Amino acid sequence: MRVDFVVHPGEFVYLVGRTGSGKTTLLRALHGDLPLQEGEGYVIGFNLRKMTWWRLPRLRRQLGIIFQDFRLLMDRTVADNLTFVLRVTGWRNRRKIQHRVDEMLKLVDLHTKAHKMPYELSGGEQQRLAIARALLNEPPLILADEPTGNLDPQTGREIMELLWRLHRQFHCAIILATHNYQWLQTFPGRIVVATHGKLLEHASPTTNRSG
């Protein structure tokens, strides 16, 4: 892809385009999953061209990522899914870890299901857990790859409303890849179109959402 792309702090950016247009590839490159073959790329001050395996965890501590298929740890409880992430990102104090887990589960309305296993949750609840996981370390940037793609329309809307509210609350930038153009009308944001190996700016649609 020939990409010239800047996301400013606190922006909500939609990444749209046909299947195979490179949306997921771009998100994977920003997350450090795919090395840059040419050009330059910086994410939260990290140079992606100079990214090494030992620097990658430092980048990912400052990134949140939300997948279409949730990618939860199915052999751990809801609470333990969050505890695991905190421990691998450097948290050591048990009391602080427990407080943070409780805080995040309340934020996404899962505090009554802390001891359940992920497979006991509905699809919407699993995505809420994934959102809580992405926000654990209050990252300045969240990458969301089709976060409503596996959900029914009503649940998808609830997830979008949650993401929008948390975006406003935490002032984090979000890059959200989606095929659902309804969200562009309902939740205002900057629109970038992936097409023919390029990214093109697109005029934002008129929104019916105030505030």
The 10s digit of each residue's pLDDT in 30-46 is 888 888 877 888 998 88
The 10s digit of each residue's pLDDT in 157-185 is 999 999 999 999 999 999 999 989 899 99
Question: Distance between CA 109 and CA 92 in Å, rounded?
Answer: 25
pLDDT at 122 over 80: yes
pLDDT computed for residue 210 by the predictor: 38
Count: domains in the chain? 1
CB-side exposure of 17: number of CA atoms within 13 Å? 22
Enter the pTM of the model.
0.88
| 63-66 and 46-47 beta bridge pairing | unpaired
Average pLDDT of 12-21?
88
Distance between the two ends of the chain, CA-based, in angstroms?
A: 35
Query: Which residues, listed in sequence order, are joined to residue 199 by a DSSP beta bridge?
Result: 194
Residue 4 lies in a domain: no
Give percent of the chain with pLDDT exceeding 90. 63
Q: What element of type H or E holds 156?
A: helix 153-170
Judging by beta carbons within 10 Å of its beta carbon (0-12, 13-18, 19+), is residue 123 exposed, middle or buried?
middle
Maximum pairwise Cα distance, the chain: 50
Question: Distance between CA 210 and CA 199 in Å, rounded?
Answer: 28
Task: Identify which has the larger pLDDT, 160 or 90.
Answer: 160
Residue 88 lies in a domain: yes
Q: What's the CATH number where 90 sits?
A: 3.40.50.300
Residue 38 lies in a domain: yes
Expressed as residue numbers, the domain containing 114 is 12-202
Residue 207 lies in a domain: no
Nearest to 80 by CA among 64, 101, 100, 65: 101
